[in-house]
Amino acid sequence: MNFKVFIVIFSAIILAACSGAGGSSPTLTPVEQQGQAVFTLRCAQCHALTPNTIVIGPSLAGVATRAASRIPGYDGQTYLETSILLPEEYLVDGFANTMPTNFGKELTSEEFAALLAYLMTLK
């Protein structure tokens, strides 16, 4: 098994085990769990999941809801995809353009799709 795949699966299992304690979190599908693991490994260093918490980039609490109304004609998933692949296109007011631009090259298409699926659960 590829080490990268092992880490993603292991992280998803750990995160799933930890997230069950609160009872208020929605149950994630296996793809969304994989996306949560990708988020933890690649995004959580800069983006918090709690409202009004800034690490480096904006909080992603409720991002699926906000994304659906940010750009006329874009649904939430299209906005998020564009924001990840071309972060300079849609900078959030008050934040510098510090997001890496290499996610399209570094994530597999499966990891990217899983990450989007997970972000779409953050309503």
pLDDT value of residue 93: 92
Domain of 25, CATH number, reads: 1.10.760.10
| Structure confidence by residue, pLDDT tens digits, 3-60 | 454 443 444 444 444 444 333 457 999 999 999 999 999 999 999 999 999 999 999 9
Number of structural domains in the chain = 1
More confident residue, 22 or 63: 63
Tokens of 64: 């699926």
Q: Is the pLDDT of residue 115 over 70?
A: yes
Q: Which of 60, 23, 30 is nearest to 45 (CA)?
A: 60
Q: Is the pLDDT of residue 120 over 60?
A: yes
Q: Is the pLDDT of residue 89 over 80?
A: yes
pLDDT value of residue 74: 94
74: CB partners within 8 A, 6+ apart: 67, 82
Residue numbers of the domain that contains 33: 3-119
Question: Given CA atoms 61, 14, 84, 112 in this order, what sign does their dihedral have?
Answer: negative
**Phi, psi at 43, each rounded to 5°:** -120, -30
DSSP state of 101: S
Q: Which of 71, 25, 75, 27 is nearest to 50 (CA)?
A: 25
Residue with tokens 């992280």: 11
Query: Cα angle vertex 1, ends 115, 119, to 5°?
Result: 5
pLDDT value of residue 2: 54
Global confidence as pTM: 0.78
pLDDT value of residue 73: 92
